């Protein structure tokens, strides 16, 4: 796993497999990656089941937050979901934006797109659509969205700066995003960062929290706020696949933290022109 294209292909293959797994299998692993644990509980994702628009057929248990809960979606908004999977966040967003709004899900895995479209058809949703594409170069025109959401996806993309740059492109001036993602404080052991399974499992692709926030600011976003943060604990029976006992003890007793954060940021409004001499 040495190039960005190889990393993307790894993720595409793994998430094609995940599209065919049941929710219980996905929830008892790292983002469904297959590094399964005998400790059967939800490692990363939060509970959606009480939210309007929730549909269990679309919930694969792959998220690490509930970005739609914090996304300030209004009636009539156009919402884009990055890495839309089977459609879970799209359907919850639709409950917020209503019949007068529109929700566009983008995913680069054929199996996920197929599953999401089937779910939308069963639910009779005509203002939710799913497009095949790379979230570094979204198949949508510029300045189209009021809100962008994403749930545990940017950590799977090698070039996160390209994604953030394209989020800025597709948002309308004054639009905003709410994104849940995995970040690090401190550094993972080399054996974890070099393991393909841990990359597809949302962990080794994560970057430092402060770097993540700086990328957002560097791309022109304002009002950057962490809306929610929670620690992620990877069970020993997953870690022991990659670390010996001494390495495992050192990692657990060290200063590295793995966190799920939900981040809000806004694309600034366009400056209005005025008469010469009255603007700075």
Question: Per-residue pLDDT tens for 47-65?
Answer: 888 889 988 889 887 788 9
Does position 42 have pLDDT exceeding 70, yes or no?
no
Share of the chain above pLDDT 70, in %: 85
Report residue 44's pLDDT band, with 50, 70 and 90 as the boundaries. low
Domain at 4-266: CATH architecture: 3-Layer(aba) Sandwich (3.40)
Please give the average per-residue pLDDT across 137-144, as a whole number.
Answer: 98
The two structure tokens encoding residue 121: 């058809």
Does position 102 have pLDDT exceeding 50, yes or no?
yes
Q: Give residue 271's pLDDT.
A: 76
Does position 262 have pLDDT exceeding 50, yes or no?
yes
Report residue 2's pLDDT band, with 50, 70 and 90 as the boundaries. low
**Which of 79-93, 153-167, 245-259, 261-275 shows the lowest mean pLDDT across its residues?**
261-275
Mean pLDDT rounded to a whole number for the chain? 86
Residues in the chain: 280
Report residue 192's pLDDT band, with 50, 70 and 90 as the boundaries. confident
Residue with tokens 């879970």: 88
Q: Give residue 229's pLDDT.
A: 96
User: In this structure, what are the phi and psi dihedrals at residue 160, rounded to the nearest 5 degrees?
Assistant: -70, -30
Distance CA 77, CA 219 (A): 23
- Who's near 7: CB < 8 A, 6+ residues apart? 1, 158, 199, 205
Report residue 25's pLDDT band, with 50, 70 and 90 as the boundaries. low
Please give the average per-residue pLDDT across 109-131, as a whole number.
Answer: 95
Q: Give residue 185's pLDDT.
A: 94
- Using an 8 Å Cβ cutoff, are 191 and 243 in contact? yes
Q: Give residue 156's pLDDT.
A: 87
- Using an 8 Å Cβ cutoff, are 56 and 124 in contact? no
Ramachandran area for residue 107 (φ above 0: left; ψ -120 to 50: alpha; else beta): beta
Q: Give residue 158's pLDDT.
A: 87
Report residue 204's pLDDT band, with 50, 70 and 90 as the boundaries. confident
Report residue 33's pLDDT band, with 50, 70 and 90 as the boundaries. very low
Q: Give residue 80's pLDDT.
A: 98
Share of the chain above pLDDT 90, in %: 57
């Amino acid at each position: 796993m040495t190039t960005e294209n190889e990393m993307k292909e790894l993720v595409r293959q793994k998430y094609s497999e995940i599209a065919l797994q049941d929710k219980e299998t996905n929830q008892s692993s790292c983002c469904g990656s297959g590094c399964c644990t005998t400790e059967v509980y939800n490692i990363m994702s939060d509970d959606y089941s009480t939210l309007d628009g929730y549909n269990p057929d679309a919930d694969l248990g792959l998220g690490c937050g509930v970005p739609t809960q914090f996304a300030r979606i209004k009636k009539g908004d156009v919402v884009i979901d990055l890495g839309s999977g089977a459609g879970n966040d799209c359907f919850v967003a639709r409950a917020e934006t209503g019949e007068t709004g529109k929700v566009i899900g983008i995913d680069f895995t054929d199996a996920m797109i197929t599953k999401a479209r089937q779910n939308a058809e069963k639910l009779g949703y005509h203002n939710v659509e799913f497009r095949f594409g790379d979230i570094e170069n979204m198949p949508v025109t510029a300045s189209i969205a009021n809100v962008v959401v994403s749930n545990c996806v940017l950590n799977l993309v090698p070039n996160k700066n390209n994604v953030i740059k394209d989020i800025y492109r597709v948002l309308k001036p004054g639009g905003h995003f709410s994104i849940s993602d995995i970040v690090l404080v401190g550094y993972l052991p080399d054996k974890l960062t070099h393991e393909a399974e841990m990359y597809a499992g949302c962990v080794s692709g994560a970057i430092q929290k402060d770097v993540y926030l700086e990328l957002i600011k560097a791309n022109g976003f304002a009002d950057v706020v962490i809306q929610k943060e929670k620690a992620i604990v990877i069970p020993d029976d997953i870690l022991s696949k990659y670390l010996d006992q001494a390495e495992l003890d050192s990692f657990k007793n060290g200063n590295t933290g793995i966190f799920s954060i939900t981040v809000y940021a806004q694309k600034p409004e366009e400056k209005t022109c005025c008469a010469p001499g009255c603007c700075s």
